[in-house]
């Protein structure tokens, strides 16, 4: 049984929160750290609640509300969140105070909001949703795990809609650690527009929160159909390629119109991506997205948002138009993501 | 579509033993694992008893053959998962699609704490090797790769119901035919972060905890890891495994009331138990034993007790909280108690509730206080409820 994307809400380093459209041109940045462009949260929750929420919770709550509103649905029947690192800001706040005050006289506030499931539970509180609720925290396939769960729930037939999202925040602490690990490029002379021409190590650090309202029955407002999703772990590029071809075959697609892929400007990561893309023979179909949102564990959620918008519009955003694709109607998109070769993921979307 | 989900194997390490045999012996001798802290470095050492695994990281390293500088979470997880999988590491395994689903509430926080001490003084210091172990998915990847499992790997973190959800997901993936065999469970190691966190909420007991008792004053923190090996009918047949039990019911709900407290009426717990009963097609009178979440906090035991009354009143099955033996192992507790449920069915046991004297005012819940053998245990309900309102109930039945 296919599952359909009925509503979306995306808070990202691009101005995506005020509409699921590709008419607004994307912005490029001269930075190695991208920060979300956030809405005025007072439009979503009352001031008293906002004060108690950390940034990542605000982003999660607001993007889930945007997705529900966009879908025209009152209440999610299930809430499933994928977040690799969860509520980092509150975690470091509590850790810092614990060290600073030598384990004494600690306020519980940061601890309460430090658990990974805080985002999903705040969403459940807000919508008064007593249904299924879960949080996946598996590195760069956290969002994909949440999506697999949501699709399975809808297929089990106990619910008709599910809210699923991928969210991770970048904090000063986590950025510093990424820098020290060599996962981020030097900011000097870096422009996101030229990210893929770079030959150095590392990528640009990003963050974001993209939520989707999924339904089991399509209507004419739906963006796209999720045909298939698969995660592939600890394996070779050949295996990934094999699984991708099998997925396309199973779904009767000879070749997708677009391949949204994992390129992030890191030499080694991009070599892995190229190996897969080349053995699929889909070099001419490639659309790169990480210069828009940066590299973070749940960026596949941003990629799925982009794919769904493109499919609904049946054409590419202006900045991606290259000769071979410009005439073509876009009806299906394969998303291929990986990070450091550990886990790979494939998501196949097509028009409703 | 597979109809049945068999529990073919189990592995466990907690304060009351490094394997199933030791665990059962501790119950039989009525020996709790809650005692003065030996291994956790904290200023609260003399203040709060803890339910520690009775081994240092060095000893765990020797026992597992792993590097002792890994997170304690990794060491515990690998030890318990290996225990569970060992009987099935044959060529037969290659014929099946296998998954590893683990759960944890704080992952490698034990290492992050040390990293932070240096990092706060100077952002360019702190051992990066430690912080690389921080995320909850790290132990899952490490263990899955070491066990050679790669068809499906993921990690769940829903506070104290984490590993009950891992088991539930495993069951669903087998039922839908996506996987044949899943090793599912969870792990948490004791950390200063969690001890201070729960202490800041003023819900840690300074004595041994008294779950379901009128005089209860909070929880004792524990640590451990536990995994079940779940199999489809086809896989169980191929191994000619004689299953411990079957997973026949599960339900996940959200109490949707408060970030760190359950509603007075126990709405989430009530819905989770009712959903699991409905799925397993059982009448309340058919449940032989309830392993309660029973943390020993005022709020949990009230809300859970209330919810149990709403489901079962006036005829209650035998019930108890085993957290007075194991401490509250947080993200591991759902799996630890699922192993107890499997043992209760396969060996005909009911586990005691330590320190019970006085029924909670306005409730009718009376936990069992002795270890009971040679019983006919057909169906066990196991509850796990967490911060964030995450509630999950599992039902295990005689195979």
Reply yes or no on whether the pLDDT at A199 is more than 90: no
Residues 6+ apart with CB under 8 A from A271: none
B45-101 confidence digits (pLDDT tens): 999 999 999 999 999 999 999 999 999 999 999 999 999 999 999 999 999 999 999
SS3 per residue for chain A: CCEEEEEEEEECCCCCCCCCCCCCCCCCCCCCECCCCCCCHHHCCCHHHHHHCCHHHHHHHHHHHHHHHHHCCCCCCEEEEECCCCCHHHHHHHHHHHHHCCCCCCCCHHHHCCCCCHHHHHHHHHHCCCCEEEEECCHHHHHHHHHHHHHHHHHHCCCCEEEEEEEECCCHHHHHHHHHCCCECCCCCCCHHHHHHCCCCCECECCEEEEEEEECCCCCCCCEEEEEEEEEECCCHHHHHHHHHHHHHHCCCCCCCEEEECCCCCHHHHHHHHHHHHHHCCHHHEEECHHHHCECCCCHHHHHHHHHHHHHHCCCCHHHCCHHHCCCCCCEEEEEEEECCCEEEEEEEECC
pLDDT band at B399 (very low <50, low <70, confident <90, very high): very high
Show which of residues 277-336 on chain A sit within 8 Å of chain B, judged by CB atoms.
Answer: none
Reply yes or no on whether the pLDDT at A324 is more than 60: no
% of chain A at pLDDT higher than 90: 90
- pLDDT at residue A321, rounded to an integer: 67
DSSP state of B330: G
> Cβ distance A335 to A224 under 8 Å?
no
Q: Among candidates A329, A208, A318, A301, which has minimal Cα distance to A5?
A: A301
| Whole-structure pTM value | 0.98
> Cβ distance A144 to A82 under 8 Å?
yes
Q: What distance in Å separates the CA atoms of residue A101 and residue B120, rounded to the nearest whole number?
A: 13
A244-277 confidence digits (pLDDT tens): 999 999 999 999 999 999 999 999 999 999 999 9
What is the dihedral angle through the alpha carbons of A304, A307, A313, A318, rounded to the nearest 10 degrees? 120
- pLDDT at residue A312, rounded to an integer: 95
Q: What distance in Å separates the CA atoms of residue A333 and residue A348, rounded to the nearest whole number?
A: 6
Reply yes or no on whether the pLDDT at B2 is more than 80: no
Strands A3-11 and A224-233: antiparallel
Type and span of the H or E element at B267:
helix B267-280
Average the pLDDT over A199-210 and give the result: 96
Strands B98-103 and B6-14: unpaired
Q: Which two tokens stand for residue A201?
A: 């190590």
Burial of B144 per CB tally in 10 Å (0-12, 13-18, 19+) = buried
Q: What distance in Å separates the CA atoms of residue B106 and residue A115, rounded to the nearest whole number?
A: 8
- Minimum-distance CB partner of B200 among A106, A134, A235: A106
Contacts of B278 in chain A (CB under 8 A): none
B386 in contact with chain A, both atoms CB, cutoff 8 A? yes
pLDDT band at A322 (very low <50, low <70, confident <90, very high): low
Mean residue pLDDT across chain B: 97
> Cβ distance B366 to B218 under 8 Å?
no
A235 in contact with chain B, both atoms CB, cutoff 8 A? yes
Q: What distance in Å separates the CA atoms of residue A3 and residue A164, rounded to the nearest whole number?
A: 12
- Scan for tokens 């993936």, then name that residue: B173
B359 in contact with chain A, both atoms CB, cutoff 8 A? no
Instruction: Tell me how close the Cα of B55 comes to any Cα of chain A, in angstroms.
Output: 24
- Taking the CA atoms of B245, B246, B248 and B254 in sequence, report the sign of the dihedral they define: positive
pLDDT band at A315 (very low <50, low <70, confident <90, very high): confident
Largest CA distance in chain A: 66
- pLDDT at residue A23, rounded to an integer: 76
- Scan for tokens 């999720």, then name that residue: A226
Q: Which of A283-297, A319-333, B124-138, B285-299 has the weakest average pLDDT?
A: A319-333
DSSP state of B191: -
Reply yes or no on whether the pLDDT at B279 is more than 70: yes
Which residue of A78, A94, A138 to mutate against B (max B Cβ within 10 Å)?
A138
Contacts of B259 in chain A (CB under 8 A): 112-113, 118, 121-122, 125
- Minimum-distance CB partner of A133 among B141, B145, B390: B390
Residues 6+ apart with CB under 8 A from A327: none
Q: What distance in Å separates the CA atoms of residue B153 and residue A144, rounded to the nearest whole number?
A: 11
Reply yes or no on whether the pLDDT at A327 is more than 60: no
Q: Omega into A98 within 30° of 0, i.e. cis?
A: no
Q: Among candidates A1, A11, A21, which has minimal Cα distance to A223?
A: A21
Reply yes or no on whether the pLDDT at B170 is more than 90: yes
Contacts of B43 in chain A (CB under 8 A): 102-104
Q: Among candidates A82, A256, A32, A13, which has minimal Cα distance to B158?
A: A82
Q: Which two tokens stand for residue B284?
A: 């309340």
Cross-chain Cβ contact A233/B132 below 8 Å: no
Mean residue pLDDT across chain A: 95
Would you please indicate which residues of B are annotated as catalytic (active-site) residues?
A: 160, 293, 328
């Amino acid at each position: 049984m296919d599952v359909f994307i009925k509503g979306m809400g995306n808070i990202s380093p691009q101005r995506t929160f005020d509409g699921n459209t590709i008419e607004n041109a994307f912005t490029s940045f001269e930075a190695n750290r991208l920060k979300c462009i956030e809405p005025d949260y007072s439009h979503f929750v009352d001031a008293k609640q906002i004060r108690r929420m950390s940034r990542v919770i605000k982003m999660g709550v607001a993007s889930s509300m945007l997705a529900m509103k966009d879908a025209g649905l009152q209440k999610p029947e299930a809430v499933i969140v994928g977040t690799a690192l969860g509520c980092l800001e509150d975690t470091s706040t509590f850790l810092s105070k614990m060290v600073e005050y030598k384990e004494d006289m600690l306020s519980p506030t940061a601890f309460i909001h430090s658990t990974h499931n805080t985002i999903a539970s705040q969403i459940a509180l807000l919508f008064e949703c007593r249904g299924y609720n879960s949080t996946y925290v598996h590195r760069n396939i956290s969002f994909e795990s949440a999506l697999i769960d949501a699709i399975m729930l809808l297929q089990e037939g106990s619910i008709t809609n599910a809210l699923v999202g991928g969210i991770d925040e970048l904090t000063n602490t986590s950025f510093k650690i990424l820098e020290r690990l060599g996962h981020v490029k030097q900011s000097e002379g870096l422009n996101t527009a030229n990210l893929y021409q770079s030959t150095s190590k590392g990528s640009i650090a990003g963050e974001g929160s993209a939520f989707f309202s999924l339904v089991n029955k399509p209507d004419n407002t739906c963006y796209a159909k999720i045909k298939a999703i698969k995660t592939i772990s600890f394996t070779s590029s050949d295996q990934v390629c094999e699984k991708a071809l099998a997925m396309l075959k199973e779904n009767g697609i000879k070749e997708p119109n677009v391949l949204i892929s994992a390129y992030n400007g890191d030499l080694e990561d991009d070599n892995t991506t190229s190996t897969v893309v080349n053995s699929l023979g889909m070099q001419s179909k490639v659309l790169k997205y990480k210069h828009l949102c940066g590299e973070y564990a749940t960026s596949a959620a941003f990629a799925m948002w982009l794919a769904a918008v493109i499919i609904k519009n049946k054409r590419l955003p202006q900045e991606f138009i290259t000769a071979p694709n410009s005439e073509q109607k876009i009806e299906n998109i394969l998303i291929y993501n990986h990070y450091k070769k550990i886990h790979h993921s494939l998501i196949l979307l097509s028009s409703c | 579509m597979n109809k049945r989900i068999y529990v073919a194997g189990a592995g466990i390490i907690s304060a009351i033993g490094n394997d199933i045999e030791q665990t059962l012996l501790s119950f039989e001798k009525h020996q709790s694992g809650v005692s003065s802290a030996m291994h956790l470095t904290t200023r609260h050492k003399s203040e709060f008893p803890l339910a520690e695994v009775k081994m240092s990281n060095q000893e765990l390293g020797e026992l597992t053959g792993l590097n002792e500088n890994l997170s304690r979470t990794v060491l515990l997880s690998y030890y318990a998962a290996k225990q569970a999988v060992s009987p099935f590491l044959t060529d037969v395994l290659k014929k099946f699609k296998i998954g590893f689903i683990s759960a944890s509430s704080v992952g490698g926080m034990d290492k992050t704490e040390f990293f932070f001490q240096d990092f706060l003084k100077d952002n360019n210091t702190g051992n990066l090797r430690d912080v690389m172990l921080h995320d909850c998915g790290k132990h899952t990847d490490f263990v899955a790769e070491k066990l050679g499992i790669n068809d499906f790997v993921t990690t769940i973190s829903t506070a104290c119901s984490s590993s009950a959800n891992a088991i539930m997901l495993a069951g669903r993936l087998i039922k839908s035919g996506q996987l044949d065999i899943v090793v599912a469970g969870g792990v948490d190691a004791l950390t200063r972060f969690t001890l201070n966190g729960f202490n800041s909420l003023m819900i840690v007991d300074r004595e041994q905890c008294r779950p379901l008792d009128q005089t209860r004053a909070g929880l004792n923190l524990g640590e451990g890891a536990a995994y079940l090996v779940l199999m489809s009918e086809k896989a169980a047949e191929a191994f000619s495994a004689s299953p411990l039990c079957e997973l026949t019911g599960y339900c996940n709900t959200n109490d949707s009331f408060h970030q760190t407290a359950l509603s007075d009426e126990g709405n989430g717990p009530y819905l989770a138990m009712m959903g699991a009963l409905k799925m397993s097609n059982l009448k309340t009178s058919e449940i032989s034993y309830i392993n309660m979440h029973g943390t020993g906090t005022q709020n949990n035991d009230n809300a859970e007790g209330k919810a149990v009354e709403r489901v079962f009143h006036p005829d209650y099955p035998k019930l108890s909280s085993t957290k007075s033996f194991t401490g509250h192992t947080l993200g591991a507790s759902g799996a630890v108690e699922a192993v107890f449920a499997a043992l209760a069915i396969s060996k005909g046991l009911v586990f005691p509730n330590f320190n019970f004297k006085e029924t909670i005012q306005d409730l009718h819940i009376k936990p069992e206080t002795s270890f009971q053998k040679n019983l006919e245990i057909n169906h066990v309900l196991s509850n796990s409820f967490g911060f964030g309102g995450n509630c999950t109930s599992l039902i295990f039945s005689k195979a």
